[in-house]
Amino acid sequence: MSDIKTNGPVLAADGTPLKRSLARALRVEKTRALMLIAPLLIFVLISFIIPIVSMLFRSVDNRIVEDTMPYTVAALKTWDASSGALPDEPVYAALARDMKAAAEKKEHTRIGGRLNYEESGFSSLFRKTGRAAKKFDLDSGEPFKAKLIDIHKDWGKIETWKIMQTHSVDYTNGYFLNAVDMKRTPDGAQMQDDDKRVLLKLFGRTMWMSLVITGMCILLGYPVAWILANLPARQANLLMILVLLPFWTSLLVRTSAWKVMLQQQGVINDVLVWLGFIADDSRLIIINNATGTIIAMTHILLPFMILPMYSVMQTIQPSYLRAAKSLGATNWTAFWRVYFPQSIPGIGAGSILVFILAIGYYITPEIVGGNKGVFISNRIAYHISTSLNWGLAAALGSILLAAVLILYWAYDKIVGIDNVKLG
Amino acid sequence: MKFTKTLMATTALTMVAGVAGAADMADEMTIVSWGGAYTASQMNAYHKPYMEKTGVNIISDDSSAEAVAKLRAMNEANNITWDVVDVVASDAMRLCDEGLALEIDPDTMLADAPDGTKASEDFGDLLVSECFIPQIVYSTTFGYRTDMVGDKAPTTVCDIFDLATYPGKRSLQKRPIDNMEWALYCDGVAKDDIYDVLGTDAGVDRALAKLDTIKDQVVWWTAGAETPQLLADGEVVMGSTFNGRLFSAIAEQNQPIGMLWDMQSFDLDGWIIPAGLSPERQARALDYVYFATDTQRLADQAKYISYGPARKSSAPLVGKHADLGIDMAPHMPTDPANAANVHLYDYSWWADNRDDLDAKFQAWLAK
């Protein structure tokens, strides 16, 4: 035993130090594991993360102005908007040059559309000017100031130039300001006009109604999950199918079914009138408003609450309850002090799922929400597909994403994310 | 190293194969439209005869509602998968503005009328954008439940605002366009002055104040099928929608619904060809629209759906409904009896003011 070295590094069978050998083995393990998940990782990166990041990037990207009108943007840098005087001839000459180039590439209307989001009228201003600009002779040396003002009187207004100057930065906070009912103006950020403020209200409504829906799901889902977890397997399976059937049914079908149920000439109102609970001329209005959205979305999201609750409740030993009772607890005390605390992880998981799904909901509020029950996502959809103001849509989406992350973080601080169990 | 080379070689090969595949695609094309009865009418009037004539395979895609956004995304991704797209005129203008649609010269790219009239003259004022090939004239107008209005059928659009005579809910489209104009008209603004008034802040307030008088009685719709359904269920007394939808509810489904043509809002629907197609596909698309928008074809579509053909020369050729055998001319929005008092929707005004008015309209709705 005396030939064993006791002070040098421990060696592996092949003579290398054990520490290094172990590190190499672990590295190989890790590489292999990484290789195994690589296809998924690359897939997620390409199909999920990159598109999201590039979409979010649009919320600040404003390079279209300088890319399309480089000379005008440069010339406008020296113009003092507060002077009260129109820009000088060089700015107009630069505009003529940019317009001619843009019109030949058919880009003038695109930037007109961009600026029209800020101020009505830019769309036709650029369309009209671009049409005339194709015939400009840039080397003639004639004064473009008079000519452009003659083409469209708006070029003779200081307001037009102020807006051009304000929105000529490459990266703008304008979309984010718009998203919170403010606007970027020559005098800094200001509140949006009273009659155009709607988005903050919609954000607030989205949060509030999602909370209500989550609360309703907890109230309705908890007893169902409890019954599911405590019935004998045969009955429990049958009940489970009743929970899962709607879960497997198309969202659109379920939403349309609610329409048939809830409308004024619908099933619920008809039954209530038939039973004599309400008069025929005072039928309940429970659709095309917030009530409709809450009812339909609670129903649609209920399985997302029941399933995590059920899987947690299944693991709670019934013997704990019996033990509590044998020690003298009433039914209520046994439930509240022993059973309920153990089921909280299920409530937590269900609430997170339901809440996060709810704040991004689009189709159900659109169909049953009327004007008082629509969410911020309906505005995002509008700006993506109808107004084409993708910058604003991206800003709204970023804010929604940030709100979810903050709530998630707050939840982690208060309840602890380790307490969430999906099964 | 060798692996990378092989990988690159295979990728290049796949790409070549892809391009070669695309070159042969000229005998297959994707046509985008609105779906439902409308696509069916195009299938019968245009697609089937064209497929028979040329052997081309036409694939239908019902994405017109999202066409502008999708075309923009396709353009950015540099991968345009559509050949011909059916859009409303205002969308065509937007696409043209964005440089996403091909500019069309009607006289060289579209068929002359049978009597030799040039296409530009045959379509006339309906050529509202350089990229737009008009196909039909449709209107947004009102239908009412004949059994719910008593013995006084509504006769003017202003009956919409008359809650005393016609109590009950009404459905309106959830957008400012048309509704603002109707509101001002019924508030006493002369038809020719509507856009001048609407162009001022006071005018917008005035229109919204008029709409306020019926706001809590309005069901707002977003899809054209909603109003006919709401009328059929008796949920609303009257409501606006596209005239063809009302025609099918009345004539094909025998619902107790009457048409109110007063101040119907004319609009156009037609084709655009996406910019940036390969030469083979573009040639195919142009060949298709040359065929599909000639005088006879446009008149044929009216056999299946009650929208008026966009060519003047097609009007006399409009015949009977293909299945019901009823005369279609009296159901066209362009029929003189129906078009006694129409509202002409100003495209360029709305192109400028849509963003602004929509924000105000939405803020008003949420109040």
The residue that leads in pLDDT, A423 or B227, is: B227
Q: Which of A11-15, A59-63, A414-418 is the least confident region?
A: A414-418
CATH topology of domain B2-131+273-331: D-Maltodextrin-Binding Protein; domain 2 (3.40.190)
- Count Cβ–Cβ pairs < 8 Å, chain A vs chain B: 84
Question: Percent of chain B having pLDDT more than 90?
Answer: 77
**B358·A387 Cβ contact <8 A:** yes
A142 and A204: one domain? no
What does the pLDDT look like over A232-244, one tens digit per residue?
Answer: 989 999 999 999 9
User: Quick one: closest CA in A to B363, which residue?
Assistant: A198
Q: Which CATH architecture has domain B139-267+336-366?
A: 3-Layer(aba) Sandwich (3.40)
B99 vs A: CB within 8 A: yes
Q: Which residues pair with A121 in a beta bridge?
A: none
What does the pLDDT look like over B232-282, one tens digit per residue?
Answer: 999 999 999 999 999 999 998 999 999 999 999 999 999 999 999 999 999
What does the pLDDT look like over B112-132, one tens digit per residue?
Answer: 999 999 999 999 989 999 999
Does a structural domain hold residue A32? yes
Got the DSSP string for B247-284? Answer: HIIIIIT--SEEEEEEEEEEEEEEEE-BTT--HHHHHH
Does residue B19 surpass a pLDDT of 70? no
A134 and A280: one domain? no
**B169·A195 Cβ contact <8 A:** no
Using DSSP's 3-state secondary structure scheme, residue B88 falls into strand
User: Mutate which of B63, B227, B355, B367 to test chain A, going by most A C-beta atoms within 10 A?
Assistant: B355
Does a structural domain hold residue A203? yes
Does a structural domain hold residue A256? yes
Closest of B161, B106, B152, B26 to residue B271, by C-alpha: B106
Q: What is the ipTM of this complex?
A: 0.84
**B40: closest CA of chain A, how far (Å):** 23
How far is residue B324's CA from residue A338's CA, in Å, rounded to a whole number? 71
Does a structural domain hold residue A14? yes
Domains B2-131+273-331 and B139-267+336-366 share a fold: yes
The residue that leads in pLDDT, A155 or B150, is: A155
Mean pLDDT of chain B: 89
A287 and A363: one domain? yes
pLDDT at residue B220 in the model: 93
**B94·A113 Cβ contact <8 A:** yes
Does residue B89 surpass a pLDDT of 90? yes
Q: What is the mean pLDDT of residues B13-38?
A: 66
Chain B hits for A376, Cβ within 8 Å? none
Cβ neighbours of residue A126 closer than 8 Å, sequence gap 6 or more: A108, A109, A111, A112, A115
Domain ranges across chain B: 2-131+273-331, 139-267+336-366
What does the pLDDT look like over A276-323, one tens digit per residue?
Answer: 999 988 899 999 999 999 999 999 999 999 999 999 999 999 899 999
Here the contacts of B74-83 (C-beta below 8 Å, separation 24 or greater) are B74/B274, B75/B100, B75/B274, B75/B275, B75/B276, B78/B276, B80/B274, B80/B276, B80/B277, B81/B30, B82/B30, B82/B31, B82/B32, B82/B274, B83/B29, B83/B30, B83/B31, B83/B273, B83/B274, B83/B277, B83/B281, B83/B284, B83/B285, B83/B288
B205 vs A: CB within 8 A: yes
pLDDT at residue A6 in the model: 56
Range of the domain at A203: 199-419
| Number of structural domains chain A divides into | 3
What does the pLDDT look like over B308-360, one tens digit per residue?
Answer: 999 999 988 998 998 888 999 899 998 889 999 999 888 889 988 988 899 89
What does the pLDDT look like over A194-206, one tens digit per residue?
Answer: 889 999 999 999 9
